[in-house]
Amino acid sequence: MRLLFDANILISYLLHSGADSPVTHIVESCVLGKATLLLPEVLLEELTASVANKPYLNARIQPEEFARLATILHRSGETVPRIESPIPAVTRDPKDDYLLAYAVVGEADYLITGDNDLLVLQQVVGVTICTPRDFVDQWLRDEEH
């Protein structure tokens, strides 16, 4: 199973990584090799900029925590090469279009996000778009069968 996370999922992991959290379950499953985490460089750049430039995040996420997560993601994830061609407009928020493009190029099964502009699409070119909770619920149902 191939997964792409929106930056908001990784930020949520850094802010609220409780053991019962669906985000924690998904991130740790990727780190343990139960699923393949796709890592576009541009996603990591967005995540880095968000943590560095948003005072709310900067005050709550320690640089060493962020660096540790980035190292773990690089070790356990699969890098998706930068898309050099123009990315088509698909979403109602143009800033989200790159995620869909990387999900398709990286052959993701799921794009996991908390962004309603993406969630309303539900599925694009074989990529299911869902929340962390919906993904975990589906994954647990699949494991039972």
Q: Is the pLDDT of residue 61 over 60?
A: yes
Q: Is the pLDDT of residue 129 over 90?
A: yes
| 3-state secondary structure at position 39 | strand
Where do we find the tokens 């690089």?
74
Query: What distances in angstroms separate CA 50 from CA 37, 57, 64, 121, one per listed residue?
Result: 20, 7, 15, 24
pLDDT of amino acid 140: 67
Give the pLDDT confidence of 66-119 residue by residue, as tens digits. 889 889 888 889 999 999 998 888 888 888 899 999 999 999 999 999 999 999
What is the CATH class of 2-144?
alpha beta
Q: Is the pLDDT of residue 124 over 70?
A: yes
Separation between Cα atoms, residue 121 and residue 124, nearest integer Å: 7
Q: How many other β-carbons are positioned within 10 Å of the β-carbon of residue 112?
A: 27
**132 vs 18 pLDDT, higher one:** 132
Q: Span 34-51, mean pLDDT?
A: 90
Mean pLDDT (the chain, rounded):
88
Separation between Cα atoms, residue 96 and residue 24, nearest integer Å: 23
Q: Are strands 78-80 and 123-124 parallel, antiparallel or unpaired?
A: unpaired
pLDDT of amino acid 144: 61
CB 69 within 8 A of CB 75: no
Show the DSSP H helices in the chain as ranges: 7-15, 22-31, 41-53, 55-60, 63-76, 97-105, 116-119, 132-144
Q: Is the pLDDT of residue 145 over 60?
A: no
Q: Which residues contact 88 (CB under 8 A, 6 or more apart)?
A: 97, 101
